[in-house]
Structure 1
Amino acid sequence: MHHDSPVILLLAAGEGSRFGGAKQLAEIAGEAMVRRTARVLLETDVPVLVVTGAYADEVEAVLDDLPLSLVRCEDWQLGMGQSLAAGVRALIHAFPQATAVLACLADQPLLASAALRGMLERHRVVPERILATERHGVQGPPALFPRDYFGALAALSGQHGARALLKQEAARVEAFDSPNGIDVDTPEDLQRVQAIVAGLDGDT
């Protein structure tokens, strides 16, 4: 692994209140959602750091044999800002030469490694730019922040992730389309994703 490369941060610490339980462990084609997402991220060949919180023991167990790093966010219940900050602080310690952080969510199981690789390649060309995924006019994760934003990210707190930072730094943001960026927030979302995956599997 090249530590002077970006590092992917996979946020998997939430309790899934709208979903009604541990959505990280919800099965998609016989595999826990967080594991499916982590495997896609690992296909990019950059280091992956997973932030756990709610259901940490169970989430870490389904990732146990994958070549990634884990960090627990003890105050995960305070919101996504807390887990993102905890992850970035751990990243700074474990990967001091990291050039950027690519923040991803465990509840986006249709992410394609090709799209992530596209963002990582673009970072090599324009290392000073923030790269964010845009869907329905809203920018969010997957989002890549150069290392000069690590301090601001490590200081986040509360419910909001990096969206305010994206707005504040709009002049430096480059947007990417997100054709497969369904967030699994509810059981209905999960059913949609399962149907899509079943259709994809049926086509192969």
Structure 2
Amino acid sequence: MTLLLAAGEGSRFGGAKQLADIGGEPMVRRVARALLDTDAPLIVVTGAYADEVEDVLDDLPLSVVRCEDWQLGMGNSLAAGANELMRMFPHASAALVALADQPLLSTAVFRAMLERHRHAPDRVLATAHDGVQGPPALFPRDCFTTLATLSGPKGARAVLQREAARVELFAAGNVVDVDTPDDLRTVQASLGRKPHS
């Protein structure tokens, strides 16, 4: 199971960063396609700009849940997604959580995390960037109830801290969060610099 959090307001960005153009398509659609390429079911959590975000995902084979209290923080969005996951997929063994503002992550990273889960089903998997553990992160089924009660701006950080003894860090490579217009320019420039085959 994969969960894509796309409910934020983008206050530092100054608008709907989910819709920012990355390589000719909206950022949220790019990340959704990378997750869908793992062949795992995908639930997208929307909130701010829900209509516009859902419009650009309309033709993709995924489910959408709206987080009505998205403005309270990422924890609330994650809780909305976890509750929907438990409702739709009661036998899911894990949830791979990704963010709509990390557009450089590849399907290979998501596949590797899901594959690692198959071999070590009790492990919590997280990626580290700038010394901080965070998403994309994979939580086994026994974390679902905790995820479903999260609230506030810190997202799943408290869960990662509480489960520290079984957290396994993943090297994800291009974990760039697009939080500001400068971040977006950095991402667009890095895509433009890719060597031609």
What range describes the TM-score normalised by the shorter chain of this pair?
Answer: over 0.9
Percent identity reads 68
Count of residue pairs brought into register by the alignment: 197
Provide the rounded CA distance (Å) in 2 between the counterparts of 1:203 and 1:196.
13
Provide the rounded CA distance (Å) in 2 between the counterparts of 1:134 and 1:178.
8
Residue in structure 2 matched with residue 178 of structure 1 by the alignment: 172
Match of 1:124 among 118, 124, 127: 118
Match of 1:12 among 6, 16, 26: 6
Match of 1:162 among 136, 156, 162: 156
Query: What is the RMSD computed on CA atoms of the aligned residues?
Result: 0.8
**Partner amino acid for 1:203?**
H
Give the deviation of 1:178 after TM superposition.
2.4
Question: 1:150 aligned to 2:144?
Answer: yes
Give the deviation of 1:175 after TM superposition.
0.3
Residue in structure 2 matched with residue 4 of structure 1 by the alignment: none
Provide the rounded CA distance (Å) in 2 between the counterparts of 1:55 and 1:91.
22
Alignment of 1:1-204 (within 5 A): 7-200=1-194, 203-204=196-197
Following TM superposition, the consecutive aligned residue runs of length 4 or more in structure 1 with deviations greater than 4 angstroms are none
Could you list the per-position Cα deviations for residues 96-153 of structure 1 after superposition, in whole angstroms to 9, with x for gaps in the alignment?
Answer: 1100000000000001111111110100000000000111221000000000000000
Could you list the per-position Cα deviations for residues 139-176 of structure 1 after superposition, in whole angstroms to 9, with x for gaps in the alignment?
Answer: 00000000000000000011110011111111010000
Give the deviation of 1:66 after TM superposition.
0.4
**Partner amino acid for 2:192?**
A
**Partner amino acid for 2:122?**
E
Task: Give structure 1 stretches of 5+ with no counterpart.
Answer: 1-6
**What is the TM-score normalised by the length of structure 2?**
0.98
- Provide the secondary structure at the position in 2 that maps to 1:18: coil
Provide the rounded CA distance (Å) in 1 between the counterparts of 2:140 and 2:79.
15
Provide the rounded CA distance (Å) in 1 between the counterparts of 2:123 and 2:23.
36
**What is the TM-score normalised by the length of structure 1?**
0.95
Provide the rounded CA distance (Å) in 2 between the counterparts of 1:194 and 1:170.
34
Residue in structure 2 matched with residue 3 of structure 1 by the alignment: none
**Partner amino acid for 2:19?**
L
